[in-house]
DNA sequence: TCTACGATCTTT
DNA sequence: AAGATCGTAGAT
């Protein structure tokens, strides 16, 4: 399948998040099917890294869309985001989980190789599997080479629920069901707090 | 400079 | 239930 064009990302993060489910992340021999995502939206989302304005860390998140925003969490996890919306909005989709399709022999986690069914459920594991670090900030995902996102068949049924680890946000945004996941798939974290979505 | 704190993961 | 582990942001 072809790479997703830049215009795919140039709309609201929640819409992009929904349509990213089932798409393919590729880096070299490694291919991962996206199974769980979170939208960090423009317009006052108090969980969004851009909520307090532009900083050196979040620079890539302000656009242009279709590029990577990677940041370090808890000092050790490399978190992959795909930048969305128009330039200057400060929005992105966090990749929370993925199903390994190819490159199993190359995929690594913090503990070593791919050795169990629970792996790649959690954003830190996705970043490790793709060997990412903050130097991937601004990397264009719609161009050939390095890290790419490929088109694939749409997902039939989607689950949704509140985002994980954002208790610092306002109650409205803590509750917002902006975490989306592929239904009936084992590569999804925090299943208990997900439910059916229209 | 100093300090507090994570869009987490693992082990206990 | 809590420790690991360190870059970032905001305060000083």
Distance, Å, A71 CA → B2 C1' = 23
Residue A66 has pLDDT above 60, yes or no: yes
Residues 59-88 of chain A sitting with CB below 7 angstroms of strand C: 71-72, 74-76
Q: How does the average pLDDT of chain A come out, rounded? A: 94
Domain assignment present for residue A125? The answer is yes
User: Within a 10 A sphere around the Cβ of A9, how many other Cβ atoms?
Assistant: 26
- Which nucleotide is at minimal CA–C1' distance from A53? C9
Residue A114 has a pLDDT of 66
Q: Does residue A148 contact residue A3 with C-beta atoms inside 8 Å?
A: yes
Q: What was the pLDDT predicted at A113? A: 65
- pTM of the shown model: 0.95
Residue A111 falls inside a structural domain: yes
Instruction: Spell out the residues 6+ positions from residue A44 whose beta carbon is closer than 8 angstroms to its own.
Output: A51
Residue A64 DSSP code: -
Range of the domain at A94: 6-196
Considering chain A, what percentage of its residues have pLDDT values greater than 90? Answer: 87
Q: What is the pLDDT of residues A84-123, one digit of tens each?
A: 999 999 999 999 999 999 998 888 777 666 655 556 889 9
Tens-place pLDDT, residues A143-184: 998 999 999 999 999 999 999 999 999 999 999 999 999 999
pLDDT of res. A121: 87
Residue A78 located in a structural domain: yes
Confidence tier at A14 by pLDDT (50, 70, 90): very high
Tell me the CATH number at A74: 3.10.300.10
Protein residue with the closest CA to the C1' atom of nucleotide B9: A124
Instruction: Assess if residue A185 is contained within a domain.
Output: yes
CA A53 → C1' C10, Å? 13
Q: Decide if A145 is inside a domain.
A: yes
* 3-state secondary structure at position A156: coil
In a domain, A1, yes or no: no
Which residues are A37's β-sheet partners? A95, A180
Q: Chain B bases under 7 Å from protein CB?
A: 5-11
Whole-angstrom CA distances from A88 to A1, A56, A141 are 30, 15, 18
- Residues near A58 by beta carbon (within 8 Å), at least 6 away in sequence: A49, A50, A69, A71, A90
A127-165: burial string, b at 16+ Cβ within 10 Å, e else: bbbbebeeebbebbbbeeeebbbeeeeebeebbbbbbbe
Q: Distance of CA A14 to CAs A30, A67, A112, A164, Å?
A: 26, 16, 33, 15
DSSP string, A72-93: EETTTEEEEEEEESSTTS-EEE
Which nucleotide's C1' atom has the smallest distance to the CA of A69? B7
pLDDT (0 to 100) of residue A115: 56
- Report how many domains make up chain A: 1
């Amino acid at each position: 399948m072809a790479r997703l064009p830049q215009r795919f990302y140039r709309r609201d993060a929640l819409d992009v998040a929904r349509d990213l489910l089932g798409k393919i992340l590729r880096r070299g021999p490694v291919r991962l099917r996206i199974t769980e995502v979170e939208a960090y939206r423009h317009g006052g989302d108090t969980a969004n890294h851009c909520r307090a304005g532009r900083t050196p860390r979040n620079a890539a998140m302000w656009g242009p869309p279709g590029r990577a925003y990677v940041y370090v969490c808890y000092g050790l996890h490399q978190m992959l985001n795909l930048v969305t919306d128009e330039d200057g909005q400060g929005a992105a989709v966090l990749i929370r989980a993925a199903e390994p399709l190819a490159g199993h022999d190359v995929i690594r986690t913090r503990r070593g190789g791919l050795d169990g069914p629970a792996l790649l459920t959690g954003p830190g594991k996705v970043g490790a599997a793709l060997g990412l670090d903050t130097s991937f900030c601004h990397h264009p995902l719609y161009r050939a080479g390095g890290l790419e996102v490929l088109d694939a068949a749409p997902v039939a049924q989607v689950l949704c629920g509140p985002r994980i680890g954002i208790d610092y946000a306002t109650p409205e945004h803590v509750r917002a069901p902006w975490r989306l996941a592929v239904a009936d798939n084992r590569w999804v974290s925090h299943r208990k707090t997900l439910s059916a979505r229209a």
